[in-house]
Amino acid sequence: MKSRENDASLKNRRRRILVNLRERGISAVLAACLLAAGISGCGNGGTPTETTGQAAAETTAQEAAAERTGQAASDAAQDAAAETADRNAPDAASNAAAETAGQEETAAQETESSAQAEEQEAISYMFDASEMTTTGKVKLDHSIEGYTGEGYLTGFEDENDGCSFTVDVPYSGSFDIHVVSAGLGGEKINDIQVDGTTVGTFTTKDETFGESVLRRVYLEAGEHSIGVHKNWGWIALDSMTFASAERLPDSTFEVEPVLINPNASQSAVNLMKYLTSIYGEYTLSGQQADNGTASPEMIAIKNATGGKQPAILGLDLMNYSPSFASHGAVGKSIEQAIEYDKLGGIVTFCWHWGAPEKYAKSGAAWYRTFYADSTDIDLAAIMDGSDEEGYALLLDDIDVIAEQLKILQDADVPVLFRPLHEASGGWFWWGAAGPEPCKELWKLLYDRLTNVHGLNNLIWVWNGQAADWYPGDEYVDIIGEDIYPGNYVYSSQSGKFAEAVEYPDHYPETAKIVALSENGCFFDPDLAWRDQAPWAWFCTWSGEFVAQNGYNKLSGKYTEDYMVEKVYNHERVITLDELPDWKSGEN
């Protein structure tokens, strides 16, 4: 295992080189390839040796000069080699570089593979419902109008219900999977599987046939089974199309370090600068932990990874909700946030907002009143002025939370603030009335906390999870996605990443950072960079998603131990000990 000092110093050198390359106009992918070549091309004392890495550096520099930025790429390659050669501790640095050389060579090979895939002739194969193999109760039907072929498939009701087709993929690369379907009874979400493994989901919007796309699914050349598996079920499936995917433009990862609040605190500004400086190159590790550093999740991770801790601590404002506090709930997360900030960490807050007590359903447990099925709240009536009392009650709740966030502001703690999360799912009361009332509530929250309470330490992370719920660029700093793909699903979730990057109003001219704001199992960083899905951070949920109940040990229920160790020690993943002094502006 690499030492923490060598690990952190090597990563810091790589970050400086990457920033230099990016400032010269080199794309994120090419910069990573140049850097990989420069690092692995140095032997003891920084002397170039006849290695695969050196050959890759020469080839990459030539290609860059011919295809990208001419002499700038050549100069950048020389600068990268010079910086990696100039080391105060040659032996230690050489050992650290040797340990990462395998990963970097793999990354370079995958970059080359992706470039080759771009040069291949685009493919597109459509499969009608009648051409698919079915399982369970799925069968061909004709009673709904609007299908395009010989019928559509229905009967997606139980766990074993599904359909699939087989395709011979001519080359390795990323592909889009299009699904034309109609919902039986409204909006539905179902799984797309490749070779029996869920790689993403698609949403059927309504009861008329329409298209959904799962983008950028990476497949090796060869034969694969692709199909739909019941999640919510209850759809009519008309057809599926398998087609070549386009690469995300470089501008996706070139985000300006500007916050929507023009009066943002200096520490919030510096945090945003840091996040944008590493976006596309590194992922910040994160963990939701209700009891901060004393949580079983944090202890289990530390024990399993050689002392590593996440760069980001996830916390919840739930117990500060007036309807929770009235039943004796006591919030402790503000103190935990201050403690983690003192350690040099970053904090993010969600808010499971318990609805005002007036709206709790009879017999509903008070600790479930953030769920729509436990409340009678009508957000549409509140936001259009029909329910004036309800509007006043929401303002009261916001004001209570503002007082807690002010404590963090006074302690100079910037917050990745993620309220109204997962709204489009409809399971929380703030999403149950549809997108428009929720967007209005988001804007109210921003205005009340920013302009009335003067909270300038918040970086606004929007987590609505669907394009029609997006409140507009002027109300969003960062986009978050919450993904729970199941057990031991280590795929990059590139389809959702590719969807989320397009939410901003003027993409691709202007882009927003995209983070995995909640996850069940871990993703494999190697797959994330192969698939152009470099999430800004991940934040694994608490409980059995990481730790055994009642024990400070990894649970292994959703992520195997080896993957936890791999992720926390990965070259592309930043942990607490590797964070720079971002609050003072160091990147």
CATH of the domain at 288: 3.20.20.80
Q: Are 56 and 157 contained in the same domain?
A: no
Q: What's the rounded Cα separation, in Å, for the pair 376 and 272?
A: 38
Sign of CA dihedral 257, 316, 536, 19: positive
> Is residue 48's pLDDT more than 80?
no
Question: Would you give the DSSP letter of residue 310?
Answer: B
Q: How far apart are CA 49 and CA 298, in angstroms?
A: 42
Position 186 scores a pLDDT of 87
Of 119, 154, 174, the position where a domain reaches its end is 119
Find out whether 309 and 577 touch, Cβ atoms under 8 Å. yes
Is the pLDDT reported for residue 47 higher than 80?
A: no
Q: Looking at residue 108, what is its pLDDT?
A: 52
Out of 9-23, 187-201, 240-254, pick the least confident. Answer: 9-23
Q: What percent of the chain has pLDDT over 70?
A: 80
Question: Strand 286-288 vs strand 312-316: parallel, antiparallel, or unpaired?
Answer: parallel
pLDDT at site 72: 39
Q: Which residue has the tokens 């993620």?
A: 418
pLDDT value of residue 42: 34
Long-range contacts of 42-51 (CB under 8 A, 24+ apart): 42/81, 42/84, 42/85, 42/94, 42/97, 43/94, 44/90, 44/91, 44/94, 45/90, 45/94, 46/84, 46/85, 46/86, 46/87, 46/90, 46/93, 46/94, 47/85, 48/81, 48/85
Domain count, the chain: 3
The whole-angstrom separation of Cα 254 and Cα 463 is 21
What's the pLDDT band for 85 if we cut at 50, 70, 90?
Answer: very low
**Model pLDDT, residue 472:** 97
Residue 346 belongs to some domain of the structure: no
468 is a domain residue: yes
User: What's the mean pLDDT in 41-49?
Assistant: 32
Answer yes or no: is 58 within a domain: yes
Beta strands in 4-74, from DSSP E residues, in sequence order: none
Higher model confidence: residue 445 or residue 551? 445
Is residue 36 within 8 Å of 46, Cβ to Cβ? Answer: no
Angle between helices 52-67 and 28-40 (to 10 degrees): 150
Identify which has the larger pLDDT, 33 or 548.
548
Looking at the structure, do residues 497 and 443 belong to the same domain, yes or no? yes
Residue 8 binned pLDDT confidence (cut-offs 50, 70, 90)? low
Tens digit of each residue's pLDDT (9 = 90 or more) over 409-438: 999 999 999 999 999 999 999 999 999 999
**Distance (Å, rounded) from C-alpha 182 to C-alpha 152?**
10
Q: Which among 83, 104, 297, 422 is annotated as catalytic?
A: 422
Examine the pLDDT at 550 and tell me if it is beyond 90: no
Query: If pLDDT is split at 50, 70 and 90, which confidence band does 74 have?
Result: very low
User: Above 60 in pLDDT, residue 243?
Assistant: yes
CA distances from 223 to 166, 169, 244 (A): 7, 6, 15
Among 296, 415, 345, which Cα is nearest to 575's? 345
Average pLDDT, the chain: 85
Residue corresponding to tokens 């807050």: 349
Whether 229 and 267 map to the same domain: the answer is: no
Q: Does position 59 have pLDDT exceeding 70, yes or no? A: no
pLDDT of residue 551: 87
Confidence bin at 94 (pLDDT 50/70/90): very low
**Domain residues for 472?**
259-305+375-584
Whether 235 is covered by a domain: the verdict is: yes
**From residue 580, how far is each of 36, 175, 481, 575 by CA, in Å?**
22, 37, 26, 10
> 568: part of which helix (H) or strand (E)?
helix 561-568
* Tens digit of each residue's pLDDT (9 = 90 or more) over 517-544: 999 999 999 999 999 999 999 999 999 9
Does the annotation mark 502 as catalytic? no
HSE-CB for 236 with a 13 A CA cutoff: 23
**Percentage of the chain modeled with pLDDT above 90:** 76
CB 140 within 8 A of CB 235: no
Phi, psi angles (nearest 5°) of residue 292: 60, -140
The model's confidence at residue 118, banded by pLDDT at 50, 70 and 90, is: low
Please report the pLDDT score of residue 587 as a whole number: 79
Q: Which residue has the higher pLDDT, 64 or 355?
A: 355
252 Cβ contact list (under 8 Å, min separation 6)? 280, 501, 507, 508, 511
What average pLDDT score do residues 3-20 get? 49
User: 470 with 462: CB under 8 angstroms?
Assistant: yes
C-beta separation of 79 from 61 below 8 A: no
Phi and psi at residue 204, in whole multiples of 5°?
A: -95, 115
In angstroms, rounded to a whole number, what is the distance separating the alpha carbons of residues 479 and 216? 19
User: Would 268 be classed as within a structural domain?
Assistant: yes
Helix 90-119 vs helix 28-40: crossing angle, to nearest 10: 140
Interval 111-129 mean pLDDT: 75
Q: How do residues 304-361 score in pLDDT, each as one tens digit?
A: 999 999 999 999 999 999 999 999 999 999 999 999 999 999 999 999 999 999 999 9
Are 299 and 195 members of one domain? no
* Mean pLDDT to the nearest integer, 539-563: 95
CA distance 379 to 377: 6
Q: Is residue 139 part of a domain?
A: yes
Residues 114, 128 within the same domain: no
The alpha helices in 213-315, defined as continuous H runs, are 266-278, 296-304
Contact indicator for 338, 411 with CB cutoff of 8 Å: yes
134: CATH:
2.60.120.260
pLDDT for the residue numbered 313 = 98
Which residue among the candidates 83, 105, 281, 518 is catalytic per the annotation?
518
Q: Are residues 234 and 266 in the same domain?
A: no
118 vs 406, higher pLDDT: 406
Q: Pick the last residue of a domain from 86, 119, 152.
A: 119
Contact, 229 vs 198, CB < 8 A?
yes
| Crossing angle of helices 90-119 and 4-23, rounded to 10° | 50
Q: Which of 218, 244, 270 is the last residue in one of the domains?
A: 244
Same domain, 149 and 113: no
Assess whether 289 and 144 both reside in one domain. no
* Mean pLDDT across 71-82: 41
Same structural domain, 539 and 450 = yes
Higher pLDDT, 12 or 387: 387
Across 99-108, 140-149, 212-221, 463-472, least confident range: 99-108
Backbone angles phi, psi at 27, to 5 degrees: -65, 160
For 245-282, the pLDDT digits (tens) are: 999 999 999 999 999 999 999 999 999 999 999 999 99
Quick check: is 433 in a domain? yes
Is there a single domain that holds both residue 458 and residue 556?
A: yes
Tell me, yes or no, whether 294 and 149 share the same domain. no
Establish if 575 belongs to a structural domain.
Answer: yes
What region does 307 belong to: left with phi over 0, alpha with psi -120 to 50, or beta? left
Is 103 in the same domain as 230? no
Q: Is the pLDDT of residue 57 over 60?
A: no
Three-state SS letters, 407-460: HHHHCCCCEEEECCCCHHHCCEHHHCCCHHHHHHHHHHHHHHHHHHCCCCCEEE
Distance, CA of 517 to CA of 221 (rounded, Å):
32
Contact 531, 174 (CB under 8 A): yes
What is the predicted pLDDT for the residue at 83?
A: 42
Active site residue 422: yes
Q: How much is the pLDDT for 91?
A: 43
Task: Read off the pTM.
Answer: 0.81
